[in-house]
Structure 1
Amino acid sequence: MTAADTRAICWLLRQPRAAHRAQLARGISRLGDGPFYVFLILVIWLLDRAHGAQFALAAVIAYGLEVPAFMALKNLIKRPRPADMDESLCVFLQPADRFSFPSGHTAAAFVMATLMGVFYPVAATVALAFAMLVGLSRVLLGVHYPSDIGAGALLGAVCALAGTLFV
């Protein structure tokens, strides 16, 4: 898996327009930092009198599961970031921590996308597309391998579904 991940990220980051794509990826990645989700949860809670409180509670539970889970996995697995494995790779963003597996940004994005799909199916496609773009942005910035993104997506979706069980 690591060999395939390394080939994929090396190919992506060595493309002629990698720096240009990284500028767009940085903006998308920033949306996945967390404050956007807090804002979205609050807006939904305030605007949807029928299901907004349930959505907000499910989100609090889901993120309460996701954040410690991804941090525990990172510190247990301790997979080095791509640039730590290959110093010739360009990194377009300084990551917040040392390890790459799983992607916390992707996990958080998939928590929100999954919750949106459960509570507001009409918004599921847009939410899923956004979550996928957050994951892709982390690869294009050189801070995650593709499999980090897959693991983050799975973790986020599972935590979101678990969160819905309690509301």
Structure 2
Amino acid sequence: MRSIEPIAKLDLAFSLFCLQHRFRLPLSRLSKAVSHTGDGHLYIVLGLLAWWLGGEQGQLFLLAGLLAFAMELPIYWLAKNLFKRRRPQELSELVTSFITPSDRYSLPSGHTAAAFLMASLISYCFPPLGLFALVWAGCIGASRILLGVHFLTDVVLGSILGLACAQFAIALLV
């Protein structure tokens, strides 16, 4: 465990840096709005719209999304319960959490995983929207740190999980 201690210290220092500045309250309001776009409701709407309006690419988007989430969610749940990493506000009284997380543990960030999964599918199926989708996914990841519910490594590993599941689903279907 000592080999990851420097990473844990860096994570906590980065969280404190992100959460101890004079703009934290207005930034938390913006972060809540951005984070809310990653709660899952939008993914259902996007999948159905793509299926209805997107022709063959829309069908691929919906099928790949269903397959990717069927892989991502069990891995996410397993990782959370295997690592049992405490959230930033549990490790330091100096970290303020601006929302109540939906589950107990922080690694990996599920919001970030889902956002990068969707961004990867959008980039593949609808390339003109790819850059926007990836920036949006990055903003969701950043919002989770700015809300005090995730560490940087939670977000990085969540993004890797989402990208990997999406790419694997695409590879299986194409």
Do the two structures share a fold, i.e. TM-score over 0.5? yes
From 67, 87, 108, give the equivalent of 1:81: 87
From 130, 142, 145, give the equivalent of 1:124: 130
**What percent identity do the matched residue pairs reach?**
37
From 145, 148, 154, give the equivalent of 1:139: 145
**What's the CA shift string for 1:45-102, capped at 9, x where partnerless?**
1001232111100000001111111111010001100000002211100001111010
In the other structure, the counterpart of 2:4 is none
In the other structure, the counterpart of 2:63 is 57
- The residue identity in structure 2 corresponding to 1:61 is L
Gaps of 5+ in 2: 1-6
Superposed counterparts of 1:71-110, under 5 Å = 71-110=77-116
1:29 paired with 2:35, answer: yes
**TM-score, reference length from structure 2:** 0.94
Secondary structure of 2:119's match? helix
Secondary structure of 1:16's match? coil
> In the TM superposition, what is the alpha-carbon distance from 1:31 to its structure 2 partner?
0.6
**Separation in 2 of the partners of 1:33 and 1:14?**
26
**Separation in 2 of the partners of 1:113 and 1:9?**
25
- The residue identity in structure 2 corresponding to 1:139 is I
- The residue identity in structure 2 corresponding to 1:102 is P
In the other structure, the counterpart of 1:150 is 156
Secondary structure of 2:55's match? coil
Q: How many positions carry a matched residue from both structures?
A: 167
**TM-score, reference length from structure 1:** 0.98
